[in-house]
């Protein structure tokens, strides 16, 4: 998978902060909030990666698997995703929307 870039990290951090604020987790301690934020960030990134993989065709998945097995560079993986013809921004946005809905519907600290 392509490496998460600094701009993407800021977007994900802002997204998680907003979700937590909207959930109203004021009763949690600062330590609990920090731990939840870390866990949510990891889960959001996983959901985005899964959405990216689901957007690829079977043939592209096989090609990606071969590239990973061959140990290609991050630049080559970035090029593979860029050349795939898939709108990964849309896939990531949809994954984030679904994640947000699930989080806001869950019990505090759950997920």
Q: How do the domains of the chain map onto residue ranges?
A: 6-105
Query: pTM of the full predicted structure?
Result: 0.81
State yes or no: pLDDT of 58 exceeds 60: yes
27 falls in which pLDDT band (50, 70, 90)? confident
- The predicted pLDDT at position 26 comes to 76
pLDDT in tens, 82-100: 999 999 889 999 999 999 9
Tokens read off for 73: 């560079």
Tokens read off for 12: 């994900």
Residue found under tokens 């096989």: 62
pLDDT in tens, 36-48: 999 999 999 999 9
Average pLDDT over the chain, rounded to an integer: 89
User: In Å, how far from its chain's centre is CA 72?
Assistant: 22
What count of Cα atoms within 13 Å lies in the side-chain half-sphere of residue 15?
24
Average pLDDT over residues 12-33: 91
CB atoms within 10 A of CB 31: 8
């Amino acid at each position: 998978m392509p490496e998460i870039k600094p701009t993407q990290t800021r977007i994900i951090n802002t997204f998680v902060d907003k979700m937590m604020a909207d959930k109203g987790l004021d009763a949690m301690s600062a330590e609990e909030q920090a731990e939840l934020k870390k866990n949510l960030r990891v889960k959001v990134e996983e959901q985005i990666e899964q959405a990216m993989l689901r957007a690829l065709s079977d043939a592209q998945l096989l090609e990606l698997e071969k590239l990973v097995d061959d140990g290609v560079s991050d630049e080559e993986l970035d090029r593979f995703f860029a050349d795939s013809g898939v709108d990964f921004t849309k896939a990531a946005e949809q994954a984030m929307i679904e994640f947000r809905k699930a989080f806001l519907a869950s019990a505090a600290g759950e997920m």
